[in-house]
Structure 1
Amino acid sequence: MKDKVKLFALLFIFACFFLYHSKSEHLDKIQPNLWAFGTSDDTTVIEEEASDSLTQDEVWDWDEIYRIYKQLKGEKEDSLRDEYYFQIQKSFDIFAAAFRELLKNYVIEIPPLELIEYALDGITRQLDPYTDFFLNEKELNDVVSNYEYVGLGIVVSEIDSSLVVVDFIDSLAKDISGLKFGDQVVFIDNVKLVPNLDTLRAYTSGKENSRIELRVRREGVDTLIPIVTFRRKIEVPEVSFSKIFDVDDGKAIFISIKQFTPNMPDVVREILRSFVKFKPEERKGIIIDLRDNPGGTLESAIQLCEMFLPPNTIIVSTRGRAEDEEKTYKATIAPIDTTTPLIVLVNNGSASASEIVAAAIQDNDRGVILGEKTFGKGIIQSIAVLPYDSYLKITTAKYFSPSGRSIHKNRYLSSASKQIGKLYSTDTLFYTKNGRVVRESNGIQPDIEIKEKDRNSFVDYIRSKALIVKFITRIENQEPLSLGILQNKKRILEKFSNYLKEKGIDYKPFTETLLDTMIAYLERDKTQGSLLQKFKGLKKEMHKPIDKLVQENSNEILEEIENEIERRIVSFYEYKYYVLQQDEYFKESVTLLKNPKRYYEILGVKK
């Protein structure tokens, strides 16, 4: 790893040789400060400042660079040595000259560090979307280490130039923050906010336990409401929800994992230990939910697999450009449960570490994968420490399932991304432990596919605008909130229609928007009068008033209203289980657990 990073580090430092002067005429007099490098624990570190008498050849250590090149590319004839040196020198010369000219002659002054960020951003963008440069540790942590932060624990969406509270991270935020669903944050500490999430984040973050004053606009209240609360450390839960529930005459457990953090395996292990206290014959199933889990650390994925697979079982292997990237990872510790039926839920948002787990469970026939085809991120990144506490997140390897297949999908156009997609790929058929055929594809193909329901564009629209959230907040401010208000369904739908009209909602489906565009073109084209009238007639026929739209979608709207009321009147934990019971993935999983014969047939096991 350290050898590969050196070339990037050298490029970075070469650019930094040119110290910035505000007056361009002094640039010709710049004397670069040169640095010598050492390595420790696969990271590049600065050891000491070199003297001005060092030659460029001594600083760049061409023999060392060529040794790296030969190690990574294989032994080459010595006749290539001079050519390779020349290519490196030429690259540095061109880059340095361009860097110098931009500092000296660009129409506005650009700080050197800002310019090097632009340069490295351009380099990494041409490689793949996961390789990235970070100028400092804060930038890196914002992307990589988002396990905890100091804030209010609220989930906010930017809706129609307003910052709307749509959810809470945990029950504490819901109960003590003073905020309600649908509140629009207008002021923080007497500062009127520009309605964007970055601005909000800047004001809500700060020192733990520090006081913060908000003023919010709430549906049904004429004046802004002052709310005084405190910032606290918010730990984003690795396991968002777990529940032991009844299945026939036994017990099953559901565990939803949202990110693969270093701490996640310990959390899941404790949850599973509470489940395996039941006798084996009482344990009917384990459901692990990895939907919309973007991944995390490789080690945590391996540890999760070890809970369900016998020792010495292959979990994943990696292959990269360097020899030390070729590794096979096997289960090494005693598992928690290797026999209880296991179902892993995935969807298009399941990526990276989630796919490592799904592939290991599928290829070893330990459980059934249920849901949608996964995202298809089959490459691994490592963090390299560069000089001045800067960092490079770099793609170093591809990973492969126990059967040997890659699941990486190349969805980017750069030359490097295309080459990564083809690396070690094959059309060969692969086989699971029990002999089931699995194919190398762009993601993990589930054993049981759950097709997404047809989307209702009108309901999606009112959901995206948080209109039901705000509507229920208004009712909550007028009368005690309970599910009893749904007894008169006609009345509640009428009130919702009136609310939408009061808000000036005039919904247009995408097809009607296209018609408007065509009509606008035809109105400018005076030769198409008859066609214009036909399009206008079609638009009139297509457009539906709010009352009719609400009536046509009444069942889904009533369901949304019921869900919104439920999450306000029950506990945080109770609401999660309430939603889970309506989940199609969960329903299908429970149905499968109640049918052991089908479960084992899918895995190719005769029982």
Structure 2
Amino acid sequence: MKKLLKQKVLIPILALTILLTGSAFKTFNNDFFEIAKQIEIFTTLFKELNMNYVDETNPGDLMDNAIKNMLNELDPYTKFYNEQDVEAERIKRTGDYTGVGAHVKILKEKLVIIEPYKGYPADKAGLKAGDEIIEIDGQLVANYKEDAGNLLKGVPNSSAEITYVRQGKTAKTTVKRSEIEIDAVPHFSMINETTGYIVLTKFNQKTSQQTAYALKDLKAQGAKNIILDLRGNPGGLLSEAVNVVNLFVPKGQLVVTTKSKVKKYNRTYYTKNEPIDTEIPLVVLINGSSASASEIVSGTIQDLDRGVIVGSRSFGKGLVQRSKAMTYGTQLKVTISRYYTPSGRCIQALDYWNKDKKGNAVRVKQKDYNVFKTKNGRQVFDGGGVFPDEALENTKNSTITKAVLSSQTIFDFATKYYYNNTNITNINDWKLTDSDFKEFKTFLNTTEFSFETETEKSLNKVLEIAKTENLDDDIQRDYNTLIQNLNQSKIKALDDNKSQLMSLLSDEIIKRYVYREGLYEYYKLHNNEIKKATEILENPTKYKRYLN
């Protein structure tokens, strides 16, 4: 038994040693001794732990946890991927896979349909957002130790027998798997006779090709202006960001520079192709969830004064990752460099190399932002994402909004609303009411939603200290009063952010009736950012004023 265990231990150790004694040592000669020393300490510890621990150990799980905890000390983008994770990354990069055609997610230890894609197998089989999948091909999801979502993938035309729960009732359906193509540009259309609208949701291998097709098609329909919607786009391939910028700027233009401690990663990226249109007025929409490649596009367009940026400050991810193939089909995605837009700014918002007492990355303070100049001499800043030229306050996520978003409440309320309002036929004429918002606040109180302010955290700390000093009797009364007042402030905070919360609720509810495609059509009629963008584009004098 010990011999078998020893073999299991030595295999990952050998793999790790080979990995770290290869190219890493060539790059970091100065650290040779320290790296070798730490490898020897770790391998000795790993061997002794597995051979001598009182209970049976799982070397694979221990190693997996050790690696992931080590990487957690760096930044959230440097990750280790096992074989299943590698496949998920491939899907993100290419946009193609074989499955049922639905976004699924583990919510509160349950496998839930987040969004069925219109016209794909899950949709055809009648599955809807909010359905909890409890069994797939006889395999109980609750007993499945790996990612249960992988059970939905398989060979094209194979069938998946699915048991699910909807509104407390159990049902079954059969879904025939098919090849799924995830579009980078899920929607483009004309907003009015002169303005075209392109939604770009991710930067995969199809992004620039699909964006180019949309731009050409809209111009053929008579578009004299373009709105490029990057809201909620988390980024992806840097090369595709360069190619998207290239659609609007001349060949040979600097787009982005990467800088690293490893010389080979210091690169400059220029546009390589002939553009489609360098003159057409352009507005780019961004928000707090626009990150990475989205920020390269919006930041470069801003630096070159090629278009007007509208919305709220972007996420602020100025780091570049590269995937490194490792042994046994695993991968390491490692942050290799920072990127800089044409003006020379890096928009990284969080400093992962300096953390607070709780281990959280420190946000770059506004007083530490540096000033840069656009092509026309306008001031832009680094350190906190891309700041829009036209900032819309109601699009900026407040603390309470972020807390609500991080919970499941908006999704669950949308599910509840959909099944309680099955008679809605024309979604474009629909609108959430004050009564609906009041119902949402009541719904919040019935869930596990909790929102602890920094003030509460400080008060709790004071009370704990008071208890150790036997001063808590009098302080407890004042504490209770303060907490009661804070709870009232939280209720007020919901009302103060009513407009934004109503918008988020509307987006989730609309998708239940008319899918994501219908949501974009709804945006064209009702969305504030699109209205502002259209207003800017329809006034050439105002448009030019932003850029000068």
- Tell me the TM-score normalised to structure 2 length: 0.76
- Conserved? CA contact 1:134–1:392, under 8 Å: yes
Separation in 1 of the partners of 2:35 and 2:154? 45
- Deviation, structure 1 residue 109: 3.7
Question: What pairs up with 1:17-416 in 2 under 5 angstroms?
Answer: 21-22=3-4, 68-69=27-28, 86-136=33-83, 138-143=84-89, 145-146=91-92, 147-156=95-104, 164-173=112-121, 175-194=123-142, 200-219=148-167, 224-246=170-192, 250-277=193-220, 283-412=223-352
Match of residue 597, structure 1, among 522, 532, 541: 541
Separation in 2 of the partners of 1:339 and 1:207? 47
- Deviation, structure 1 residue 340: 0.8
- Deviation, structure 1 residue 345: 1.0
- Conserved? CA contact 2:410–2:508, under 8 Å: no
Q: Secondary structure at the match of 2:336?
A: strand
Separation in 2 of the partners of 1:334 and 1:584? 34
Q: Secondary structure at the match of 1:435?
A: coil
- Deviation, structure 1 residue 196: 10
Do the aligned partners of residues 159 and 447 (structure 1) sit closer, same or farther apart at CA in structure 2, a change above 3 Å counting? Answer: same
Separation in 1 of the partners of 2:245 and 2:542? 23
- Conserved? CA contact 1:383–1:393, under 8 Å: yes
- Conserved? CA contact 2:418–2:509, under 8 Å: yes
- Conserved? CA contact 2:9–2:47, under 8 Å: no
Amino acid at match of 1:253: G
- 1:489-527: CA deviation from partner (whole Å, max 9, x where unpaired): 99x969x979x89x9948998599x8xx99xx9xxx996
- Deviation, structure 1 residue 128: 2.7
Do the aligned partners of residues 98 and 431 (structure 1) sit closer, same or farther apart at CA in structure 2, a change above 3 Å counting? Answer: same
Do the aligned partners of residues 475 and 600 (structure 1) sit closer, same or farther apart at CA in structure 2, a change above 3 Å counting? Answer: closer
Do the aligned partners of residues 482 and 308 (structure 1) sit closer, same or farther apart at CA in structure 2, a change above 3 Å counting? Answer: closer
Do the aligned partners of residues 567 and 359 (structure 1) sit closer, same or farther apart at CA in structure 2, a change above 3 Å counting? Answer: closer
Q: Secondary structure at the match of 2:243?
A: helix
Separation in 2 of the partners of 1:598 and 1:197? 58
Which of 583-592 and 324-333 deviates more? 324-333
- Conserved? CA contact 1:459–1:556, under 8 Å: no
Separation in 1 of the partners of 2:532 and 2:350? 31
Q: Secondary structure at the match of 1:373?
A: coil
Separation in 2 of the partners of 1:363 and 1:355? 11
Match of residue 392, structure 2, among 447, 450, 466: 450
- Deviation, structure 1 residue 313: 1.3
Do the aligned partners of residues 215 and 87 (structure 1) sit closer, same or farther apart at CA in structure 2, a change above 3 Å counting? Answer: closer
- Deviation, structure 1 residue 21: 2.5
- Conserved? CA contact 1:163–1:184, under 8 Å: yes
- 1:264-312: CA deviation from partner (whole Å, max 9, x where unpaired): 111111111112335xxx5431111111211111111111011000122
Gaps of 5+ in 2: 465-470, 490-494
Do the aligned partners of residues 578 and 67 (structure 1) sit closer, same or farther apart at CA in structure 2, a change above 3 Å counting? Answer: closer
Separation in 2 of the partners of 1:191 and 1:204? 11
Q: Secondary structure at the match of 2:242?
A: helix
Separation in 2 of the partners of 1:579 and 1:504? 30
Do the aligned partners of residues 272 and 531 (structure 1) sit closer, same or farther apart at CA in structure 2, a change above 3 Å counting? Answer: same
**2:377 aligned partner:** 435
Do the aligned partners of residues 527 and 127 (structure 1) sit closer, same or farther apart at CA in structure 2, a change above 3 Å counting? Answer: closer
- Deviation, structure 1 residue 427: 6.4
Percent of aligned pairs with the same residue?
26
- Deviation, structure 1 residue 589: 0.7
- Deviation, structure 1 residue 381: 1.4
Separation in 2 of the partners of 1:473 and 1:414? 48
- Conserved? CA contact 2:283–2:309, under 8 Å: yes
Q: Secondary structure at the match of 2:520?
A: helix
- Deviation, structure 1 residue 330: 1.4
Aligned residues, how many?
525
Do the aligned partners of residues 225 and 254 (structure 1) sit closer, same or farther apart at CA in structure 2, a change above 3 Å counting? Answer: same
- Deviation, structure 1 residue 438: 1.6
Separation in 2 of the partners of 1:188 and 1:111? 28
Separation in 2 of the partners of 1:184 and 1:28? 39
- Deviation, structure 1 residue 357: 0.9
Amino acid at match of 1:439: F
**1:41 aligned partner:** none
Q: Secondary structure at the match of 2:296?
A: helix
Question: What pairs up with 1:374-523 in 2 under 5 angstroms?
Answer: 374-412=314-352, 429-452=371-394, 464=410, 466-476=412-422, 481-482=424-425, 505=446
- Conserved? CA contact 1:472–1:561, under 8 Å: no
Separation in 2 of the partners of 1:597 and 1:87? 62
Separation in 1 of the partners of 2:206 and 2:391? 31
Separation in 2 of the partners of 1:132 and 1:506? 33
- Deviation, structure 1 residue 371: 1.4
Amino acid at match of 2:151: Y
- Conserved? CA contact 2:74–2:352, under 8 Å: no
- Deviation, structure 1 residue 570: 5.3
- Conserved? CA contact 2:348–2:383, under 8 Å: yes
**2:467 aligned partner:** none
Amino acid at match of 2:260: G
**1:548 aligned partner:** none
Separation in 1 of the partners of 2:196 and 2:150? 39
**1:9 aligned partner:** none
Separation in 1 of the partners of 2:480 and 2:32? 70
Do the aligned partners of residues 470 and 403 (structure 1) sit closer, same or farther apart at CA in structure 2, a change above 3 Å counting? Answer: same
- Deviation, structure 1 residue 60: 6.2
Q: Secondary structure at the match of 1:397?
A: strand
Amino acid at match of 2:415: V
Give the number of the structure whose alpha-carbon radius of gyration is greater.
1
Separation in 1 of the partners of 2:348 and 2:529? 25
Separation in 1 of the partners of 2:267 and 2:503? 50
- Conserved? CA contact 1:376–1:442, under 8 Å: yes
Separation in 1 of the partners of 2:496 and 2:387? 36
Which of 256-265 and 200-209 deviates more? 200-209
Q: Secondary structure at the match of 2:276?
A: coil
- Conserved? CA contact 2:292–2:319, under 8 Å: yes
- Tell me the TM-score normalised to structure 1 length: 0.70
- Deviation, structure 1 residue 400: 0.8
Do the aligned partners of residues 234 and 552 (structure 1) sit closer, same or farther apart at CA in structure 2, a change above 3 Å counting? Answer: same
- Deviation, structure 1 residue 552: 13
Amino acid at match of 1:431: K
